[in-house]
Amino acid sequence: EQEDKDLYLRIVDKNKDGIIVRGAKAHTTQGPVANEIIVIPTRNMTEKDKDYSVAFAIPANTKGLKLISKPLKASEASLNDPWFIMGKENMETESLTIFDDVFVPWERVFLAGEYQLAGPLAVTFPTYHRFTAISYRTAMADLLIGLGKLLAELNGVDDKSHIRRDIVEIIKYKEILRESAIAASHLSEIDEDTKISIPNRIFTNVGKLVANEGYLDAIKHLVDVAGGLAATLPSSQDFINEEESKYLKKYLVGKKGTDPIIRSKLLSLTREIISSLGALFTTAMIHAEGSIEASVIELYRSYNYEGSKKLAYYASGINDKL
């Protein structure tokens, strides 16, 4: 029976010209449209894992490299829907990337068995990746705030206390992410050898944990503001049809004096976020750039407890000095 570890990318042979690797990497974002595929280890390694301690970069058309892509259902659906903006103009694809005895020349190899370096490399990359996550998710949250506020106004409910709480909860979500990104930048660590700035791991992972755990709550608040039309809104094609359009413009007006087309386009965007693109956004916001557990592990491992423990000893009377 095949061992699970045999599925992981590993070195199966070495020669004077390079290495040969076999295995797979999952969730390769934009891999199918990239020119180069970059590989790093997944975690800390021991000496017995040295064959898995591999990092390199190769052209996407390298012999033996296979990329099996996810379908772009959302963008396909957008082709005949002029209101389907995000799925049409912001496409993203991922692949299961398979290395079927791929040859990598030495000049393209960064790590080949140096297991002591696998952990630092595996930790440093997600720190940058999670920093980008809290940065772009701040912008995503800003979109949710604007969408929620406009719908509240057009629905005529922006003066209701529960609607205000919904919008404030999204504001809180966004601003915690923004503050984390600012703090991670301002209190970054400088690598002594390269002088490269590394985002502060604690603030980065705190922000990422909030981003992962809070996204579905933010969507829940947006849905509460939008109302049922976020799911039941007729097609944009119905607004084009003259016979149907006159009824839709009459009955979907929302607050008196508002433009029903504008309101309906905003509701269409809401539906796009929670349905057609919902699987991508929901899964990405919980797992992309590292799962919830990954941030928990890194925070627990990296946090400096000494000052906190000294304070506890002092407060309990065990020590008389901090």
Are residues 97 and 136 both part of a single domain? no
pLDDT tier, 78 (very low <50, low <70, confident <90, very high otherwise): low
Are residues 263 and 148 both part of a single domain? yes
Reduce the DSSP state of residue 295 to 3 states and report it: helix
Are residues 149 and 266 both part of a single domain? yes
Residue 182: the pLDDT is 96
Are residues 286 and 140 both part of a single domain? yes
Single residue among 79, 113, 147 that ends a domain in this structure: 113
Are residues 240 and 291 both part of a single domain? yes
Pairwise pLDDT comparison (192 vs 167), residue with the higher score: 167
pLDDT tens column, 268-322: 999 888 887 777 778 777 777 777 888 888 888 888 889 898 898 888 889 988 8
* Average pLDDT estimate for 190-203: 90
Phi-psi region of 195 (alpha: psi -120 to 50; beta: other; left: phi over 0): left
Helices (H), the chain: 73-78, 86-89, 118-155, 161-186, 201-226, 229-232, 236-240, 242-251, 260-271, 278-287, 292-302, 306-315
Are residues 129 and 55 both part of a single domain? no
| Inside any domain, residue 11 | yes
- Domain with 231, as residue range(s), is 117-311
Write the CA distances from 45 to 125, 167, 197, integer angstroms.
Answer: 15, 45, 25
Residue 75: the pLDDT is 59
Reduce the DSSP state of residue 10 to 3 states and report it: strand
Are residues 150 and 202 both part of a single domain? yes
